Amino acid sequence: MRIDHVLCLDTHGFHRMHYTDSGDPASPRVVICVHGLTRNCRDFDFLAQALAGECRVVCPDLAGRGKSDWLARKDDYGYPQYMRDVTALLARVTAWPVATRWLGKLANFLRRRYGARSVYWVGTSMGGMLGMLLAAYPNSPIRKLVLNDIGALIPKAALERIATYVGSDPRFTTFEELEKYVRQVSATFGPLTDAQWHHLTLHGARQYEDGSWGMSYDPGIALPMRKNPLQDIDLWQCWDAITCPTLVLRGAQSDLLLRETAEQMRTRGPRPRVIEFAGVGHAPMLMAEDQIAAVRDFLLAE
């Protein structure tokens, strides 16, 4: 796994967006994996490992999360900024290598053989909404789209549940207390192993100078959510504009992607296949073998 960053522009200057980069840098398939609201790029470590033999897998920390910079102006946390940031990332990771004369010849050969690189998007929750928005634009570079527990209609009740903990910035004396908290607020992720819970907590944690532990995201990401009254988010117009092959994953107990919404999505827009995972709410973490296999089979199918 390689670690890098790309410079992105916001209203107060530049900020760094961190990302992990796995697999073959010269692969014609580039998989972009984008996390949920309070999560980070390391959520996809298990999926990236499963795809690395066939693809290049790039997983960013969106601004304010993980190792990426926090934005100076908290009002900038929103989809317009995130779309600008991932567009900069796409420009970086989809370019064929041209750094040296030899690599330039290789790049020309790869262009002739494969043409433009194929961009495959895997998005969990917020990352999936971002993928929907980008895939709906004319001339979108996204060739395949995986939506993980996010749909064309997001209920107000689910947003209210999320708002109860996002931005609260709790502090804990020990790492073990933090992990207990993560297990509680993220119980809807489903039956994970102790090692998987440790992985999610470790890479979502931040230790402060006084030794206390907290979450590795800017509490300010919640500001846009709190400034306006919460209501259902209707993305049906966006959904109907998507034409690329699409796979929708759903936790059987999800309150964010309701079953009736998923069923309606089957018959509209890209008419996706919908796979439901028992014993999981919002959202499947793409760590279980059956969840990874569903994504891998879809992305690698001709």
User: Tens digit of pLDDT for each residue in 58-67?
Assistant: 999 999 999 9
Angle between helices 126-135 and 79-93 (to 10 degrees): 70
CB of 115 within 8 A of CB of 89? no
The answer on pLDDT for 122 being more than 90 is yes
CB of 268 within 8 A of CB of 260? no
Handedness of CA 248, 253, 256, 259 (dihedral sign): positive
In this prediction, residue 213 has a pLDDT band, given cuts at 50, 70 and 90, of: very high
Cα distance from N-terminal residue to C-terminal residue, the chain: 26
In this prediction, residue 117 has a pLDDT band, given cuts at 50, 70 and 90, of: confident
Local structure of 169: helix, strand or coil: coil
Per residue in 20-29, pLDDT (tens digit) is 999 999 899 9
Per residue in 1-46, pLDDT (tens digit) is 999 999 999 999 999 999 999 999 989 999 999 999 999 999 999 9
Look up residue 54 and give its DSSP letter: T
Q: Name the token pair of 81.
A: 């900024």
What helix, strand, coil percent values describe the chain, rounded to 5?
Answer: 40, 25, 35
Q: Name the token pair of 221.
A: 């990401």
Amino acid 89: pLDDT: 97
Amino acid 100: pLDDT: 46
- CA–CA dist 17, 69 (Å, integer): 7
- CA–CA dist 155, 268 (Å, integer): 19
Q: Which residues contact 123 (CB under 8 A, 6 or more apart)?
A: 33, 34, 129, 130, 131, 132, 145, 146, 147, 148, 150
The answer on pLDDT for 104 being more than 80 is no
Per residue in 173-190, pLDDT (tens digit) is 999 999 999 999 999 999
In this prediction, residue 127 has a pLDDT band, given cuts at 50, 70 and 90, of: very high
Strands 153-154 and 56-60: unpaired
The whole-number average pLDDT for the span 60-83 is: 97
Q: Report the percent of the chain where pLDDT is more than 70.
A: 93
Amino acid 165: pLDDT: 87
Local structure of 270: helix, strand or coil: coil
pTM, whole model, 2 decimals?
0.93
Amino acid 147: pLDDT: 98
Kindly give the residue spans of alpha helices, DSSP state H, lying in the chain. 45-51, 79-93, 101-114, 126-135, 156-163, 175-185, 194-203, 223-227, 236-241, 259-266, 289-300
CB of 25 within 8 A of CB of 97? yes
Listed residue (46, 12, 51, 62) closest to 189, CA to CA: 46
Q: How many CA atoms lie within 13 A of 1 on its CB side?
A: 16
The answer on pLDDT for 224 being more than 60 is yes
CB of 29 within 8 A of CB of 119? no
Q: Name the token pair of 14.
A: 């530049």
| Neighbouring-strand partners of residue 9 | 14
- CA–CA dist 92, 254 (Å, integer): 35
